[in-house]
């Protein structure tokens, strides 16, 4: 797995709303259309990752979300 290609996918995902929507719908296609050429190992890893869930769904998987500032009264 080439670290650089994953870093570039993260960059693109964070900064490009269209790419983000595409990845959630069909990750392999969106990543291919964006010009990333993956080898077999990378494609297998891609298939094992869940891209489909929205932030809200991911956050809701835990009862209290991922993080929550609490108990800081009178600030």
Partner 1 sequence: MSAPLPSAVDRTGVLASHPAFATLSRPVLESLAGHFAEERYGPGEVIVREGDAGDRLFLVASGSVDVHSADGRRSVFMRSLGPGELFGEMALLEPDGRRNATVTASGPVRVLSLPKAAFAEALQAEGGLRESVLRLREAILRFRFLRLASPFGALEPAMLEALAARMTRSDFKAGETLIRQGDAGDFALLIAEGEVEVVRRDGAEERRLATLGVGAMLGEAAILTGALRNASLRALTDGHAFRIDRDALLELFERDRRIGLQAIQLLRLRERPRQAPNVEAHERRTVEGDTLHILKRKDTGAFFQLSESGWRIWQSLDGEATLREIAIAHMLATRTFAPQLVADTVAALTAAGFVEVQSVTRDVAERLGGRGGGRGGDSALRRIGAVLRRLFVWHWDLGSGDRLIGSLYDRGGHLAYRAAGLAVLAAIVLCGTAAVVVTGPEARAAMERGWSEGWLWLVVPLVYASVALHELGHGLSVKHYRREVLGAGLGCQGPVLFAYVNTSDMWLEGRLPRLVVDASGMVVNMVLAGLAGLALLIVDDPEAAAVLWLFAVVSWQVVLVNLNPVFDLDGYYLLSDWLDRPNLRTKSFRRFLELVRSGELGIARRHPVEIAYSVLSLVYVSAMGVVLYFLYRPLLASWLGDAGPALLAELGALAIALLWYASSSAFLSRSLKLAWRESGRQPAAGL
> Of 7 and 29, which has the nearer Cβ to partner 1?
7
The answer to whether residue 20 forms part of the interface with partner 1 (CB under 8 A) is: yes
8 A C-beta contact, residue 12 and residue 19: yes
Q: Shortest distance, CB of residue 30 to partner 1, whole angstroms?
A: 12
CB 42 within 8 A of CB 5: yes
- How many whole angstroms separate alpha carbon 20 and alpha carbon 30? 9
Name the residues that contact partner 1, by CB under 8 A. Answer: 2-8, 10-17, 20, 23, 27, 34-37, 39, 48-51, 53, 55, 58-75
């Amino acid at each position: 797995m080439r670290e650089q290609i994953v870093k570039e996918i993260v960059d693109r995902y964070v900064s490009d709303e269209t790419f983000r929507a595409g990845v959630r719908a069909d990750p392999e296609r969106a990543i291919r259309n964006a010009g990333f050429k993956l080898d077999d190992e990378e494609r297998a890893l891609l298939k094992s990752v869940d891209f489909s869930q929205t932030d809200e769904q991911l956050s809701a998987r835990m009862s209290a979300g991922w993080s929550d500032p609490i108990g800081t009264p009178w600030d």
